[in-house]
Structure 1
Amino acid sequence: MLDALVAEARERWGLDPAAGLQVVASEGLVGTPIEPSRPLLIVPLEVLGVPARAGAGDPATPLVTDAAPLPGRHGPAGRDPLGVLARLYPPDAMVARLGTPAARGGGMPAGDAGAQTTIGALTATDLAAPLYVVPIPPEAAVAGPWAMPFISARLRQPDGCPWDREQTHASLRKHLLEEAYEVYDALDRGATPALAEELGDLLLQVVLHAQLAAEAGVFDLADVQAAIGRKIVRRHPHVFGDAVARTAADVNRQWERIKAEERGAEASSGDGPKGALDGISTSLPALAASQEMQERAAALGYDWPDVEGVLDKVAEELGELARATDGTERREEFGDLLLVVVNVGRKLGIETEAALRAANEKFRWRFGRVERLATDRGAALRDLDFEALDRLWAEAKTMERASARPHDLS
């Protein structure tokens, strides 16, 4: 039966089976990876010789599947086969209904054999008969998993984009940082369409670096995906193995222990970092780097038993800062104080970088309100003494609380 469908699609619609033909059961669409730039046959299970469930093939019964949505396609249309196709293909993508008398020899639903339609015009009843979805150009298959690798490779070709062709790993570094920070900023606004766009911009940077490496014969995107996949599976033995981790704290300890074992293996092979703190990026913001270093040290047992001990250390460092007598000593003691304050945040489960960003935003909002209050009253900030400014600050703080601003930390 499948041979007859392939033959019909070849004769009528130019199907090339060697171009990566995909055959998917109608009932399995929501849980099956589909590459829109490759030819696709959608065939009901009964046509493939698999007994149909009650109601299957009944034109009056919309196709319902128990298959879980494919990870990465969890959107609102995740359990709707037509919705999945609509996300992967443009509305005008061509679809052909199959099922000539020769191909229907085993009682296949005839439908409107040979009729042409589009993805946007498909209905649930169309899925009761075999369909051939004509492949679309890779640059149009933007929701497919390999669209971005194709696009980045195309940009780098001799007749591609002059700007992209000039880029190197070094020249792209600043763009990678910019996109990462834009994602970070978008996260403050939650899961919005803007976040999806910023994540896409960041993904482009990953794909471009993989493309450059592929051109140099070092690695490609498949290597990147394989490396992170192996790492995540290896570091989650409580999910993919027999280990037990009942709490997030158990997971963190296990994670750091496994990372330490990996660093040890790299050191013994002469390929990679040698110590527990090696490998922490020197480009990280100082607060984030400090917290990461202290988390790694704590995972190996170097940690205060409780937060009270760290708070006592804060008081000790404050005293040393107050007693410092010159600029060099003050700078050193101030750095020690900051490091211990970061440790307080770590012990309390606070992401210190995010906490300081929120405090900066709060200060920005309040000081802007102070400026507006002064202007409304015909005063210039430079003409006000500290007591007057502090009263305006307190007023701005009251207004902020009344507006229930989400970044209010005090």
Structure 2
Amino acid sequence: MIAELLAEVEQRTGLGIADGLQIASPAALVRLPFDPGWPLLVLAETSPAPGPLADPGPGSPDGAVFRAVALPGRGVHATDPARLLQALYPADHPVLGLGGSPDTTAGALASGALAAGAHLLPGLAAEANLASPYGLPWLAARLRAPDGCPWDRAQTHQSLRKHLLEEAYEVYDALEAGPTPELAEELGDLLLQVVLHAEQAAEVGAFDLSDVYRAIDAKIVRRHPHVFGSVRADSVDQVLRNWEQIKAAERAEASAAGRAEASLAAAGQAGAEGPAAHAQPTSQAQPTSPAAIDEGMPAAFAGLSRSLPALAYSQEMQERAASLGYDWPDVERVLDKVEEEAVELLEAATPEARREEFGDLLLVLVNLGRKLDIDAEGALRAASRKFAARFATVERLAAGDGQELRGLSPERLDDLWEQAKQEERA
């Protein structure tokens, strides 16, 4: 049967197995990865529908073996094979009926017809393969090609840094509304930044997206031995303790690798410059790699990005310290420290001292948020949005009375603020 279908495909399209023809049943389409950029032969359905999400069996302590019904990443559209194909192909993309099935288009394809007979979907052109994980990397390479976009060709890792931050913050803001189409769009903008940086690295032979995938996938597997190994972790606290132990081992390994790199660099320099190089102070033999060890940063804080917002940077640093046992025993002690730092701020006599004491107070306030399981960055952003909304109401109320804020007394401003709070509650 398949031989006859392959012969019909070759007769109608000139395509054969050597052209990358993908072959699957409708049920397999929703479970297995395939790419719309390659031709797809969908056979008539002959197997039963896939089983439940997790089938009982040996392998894990509770006897469950994970088996996804739908390919992760395409699950929303995989309620049936036809709907999945309609999400991956343009509505007017041709679908060739084989073995007597009628021709149709992706948009008109029905699940019953798809299961009843064989069909061929020709591969999409690269610029039309929009829902594939390979589509965006192709577009990035096309933009950077000699005849691509002048603006994209002029960009560097450094020039794109601000765009990466902007897109990350836009995702952060979109998350407030939950899983919306706007969030999907913002996540796409952020993903583009990842792909652009990987494309630039590939152009100079440093790495490509496959290395990015491999690095993060390996890290996730390594840091989840309770999922992919034999370690038991029945609570979040156990998982966090395991993580800190694993990350501490990773940091020690990275530190050792950095020292080894420094030694090799020093040896190489000595070999290149001859015996005179041995007279140089050893402090000059430092690795030139961007990944050189930051000698001023404790190992527990290694890898913390200095580009993080200050509140997030401080909270992550204190989270790491607490995971190693450096923590207040209770919230009350942290509140006492807040009061102590506030008094020291008021007693500071110089601008420099006030700046330092204000920083200490902020640090303790972030620690208080950590103890209360509050994200300091998110809390301040929410408070700022609330202030902006109330201030807009104050301006409106004042304008309704024919008043300008500059000319109002503190008492009147307080009154308007209370009115704004009452409107907000209503």
Asked if structure 2 preserves the Cα contact closer than 8 Å seen for 1:65 and 1:79, the reply is no
Q: SS state of the match for residue 97, structure 1? A: strand
Q: Who is 2:73 aligned against?
A: 72
Letter in 2 for 1:388: R
Which of 357, 378, 397 in structure 1 is aligned with 2:381?
357
Q: SS state of the match for residue 276, structure 1? A: helix
Per the TM alignment, residue 85 of structure 1 is displaced from its structure 2 partner at its CA by 0.5
Letter in 2 for 1:239: V
Provide the C-alpha distance between the structure 2 equivalents of 1:124 and 1:323, rounded to a whole number of angstroms. Answer: 75
Provide the C-alpha distance between the structure 1 equivalents of 2:16 and 2:313, rounded to a whole number of angstroms. Answer: 54
Q: SS state of the match for residue 42, structure 2? A: strand
Q: SS state of the match for residue 96, structure 1? A: strand
Asked if structure 2 preserves the Cα contact closer than 8 Å seen for 1:68 and 1:79, the reply is no
Q: SS state of the match for residue 121, structure 1? A: coil
Q: SS state of the match for residue 300, structure 2? A: coil
Which of 236, 239, 244 in structure 2 is aligned with 1:251?
239
Give me the identity figure in percent.
57
Q: SS state of the match for residue 361, structure 1? A: helix
Q: SS state of the match for residue 4, structure 1? A: helix
Letter in 2 for 1:119: A
Which of 215, 223, 227 in structure 2 is aligned with 1:239?
227
Q: Give every structure 1 segment of 4 or more consecutive aligned residues whose post-TM-superposition deviation is greater than 6 Å.
A: none
Asked if structure 1 preserves the Cα contact closer than 8 Å seen for 2:6 and 2:16, the reply is no
Provide the C-alpha distance between the structure 1 equivalents of 2:108 and 2:409, rounded to a whole number of angstroms. Answer: 71
The equivalences for 1:4-403 within 5 A come to 4-44=4-44, 46=46, 52-53=47-48, 65-66=50-51, 68-75=69-76, 77-99=77-99, 112-113=100-101, 115-126=102-113, 127-270=115-258, 273=293, 275-402=299-426
The 1:167–1:16 alpha-carbon spacing in structure 2 relative to 1, beyond 3 Å, is farther
What CA deviation, in whole Å up to 9, does each residue of 1:83-135 have, x standing for no partner? Answer: 00000111111111222xxxxxxxxxxxx24x422112222232222211111
Asked if structure 2 preserves the Cα contact closer than 8 Å seen for 1:27 and 1:44, the reply is no
Provide the C-alpha distance between the structure 2 equivalents of 1:302 and 1:255, rounded to a whole number of angstroms. Answer: 17
What CA deviation, in whole Å up to 9, does each residue of 1:328-360 have, x standing for no partner? Answer: 111111111100110000011111000000011
Provide the C-alpha distance between the structure 2 equivalents of 1:330 and 1:251, rounded to a whole number of angstroms. Answer: 41
Provide the C-alpha distance between the structure 2 equivalents of 1:305 and 1:181, rounded to a whole number of angstroms. Answer: 34
Q: SS state of the match for residue 254, structure 1? A: helix
RCO comparison, higher one (Cα < 8 Å, 6+): 1
Letter in 2 for 1:386: P
Asked if structure 1 preserves the Cα contact closer than 8 Å seen for 2:94 and 2:121, the reply is yes
Q: Who is 2:54 aligned against?
A: none
Letter in 1 for 2:28: G
Asked if structure 1 preserves the Cα contact closer than 8 Å seen for 2:80 and 2:111, the reply is no
Structure 1 portions without partners, runs of 5+: 47-51, 54-63, 100-111, 403-410
Provide the C-alpha distance between the structure 2 equivalents of 1:394 and 1:125, rounded to a whole number of angstroms. Answer: 63
Asked if structure 2 preserves the Cα contact closer than 8 Å seen for 1:141 and 1:147, the reply is yes
Provide the C-alpha distance between the structure 2 equivalents of 1:358 and 1:280, rounded to a whole number of angstroms. Answer: 24
Letter in 2 for 1:145: P
What CA deviation, in whole Å up to 9, does each residue of 1:184-208 have, x standing for no partner? Answer: 1111222211111111111111101
Asked if structure 2 preserves the Cα contact closer than 8 Å seen for 1:257 and 1:300, the reply is no
Q: SS state of the match for residue 159, structure 1? A: coil
Q: SS state of the match for residue 23, structure 2? A: strand
Per the TM alignment, residue 65 of structure 1 is displaced from its structure 2 partner at its CA by 4.8
Provide the C-alpha distance between the structure 2 equivalents of 1:245 and 1:340, rounded to a whole number of angstroms. Answer: 31
Q: SS state of the match for residue 107, structure 2? A: helix
Per the TM alignment, residue 6 of structure 1 is displaced from its structure 2 partner at its CA by 1.7
Asked if structure 1 preserves the Cα contact closer than 8 Å seen for 2:157 and 2:200, the reply is yes
Aligned residues: 373
Provide the C-alpha distance between the structure 2 equivalents of 1:399 and 1:8, rounded to a whole number of angstroms. Answer: 71
Structure 2 portions without partners, runs of 5+: 52-67, 262-290
Q: SS state of the match for residue 188, structure 1? A: helix
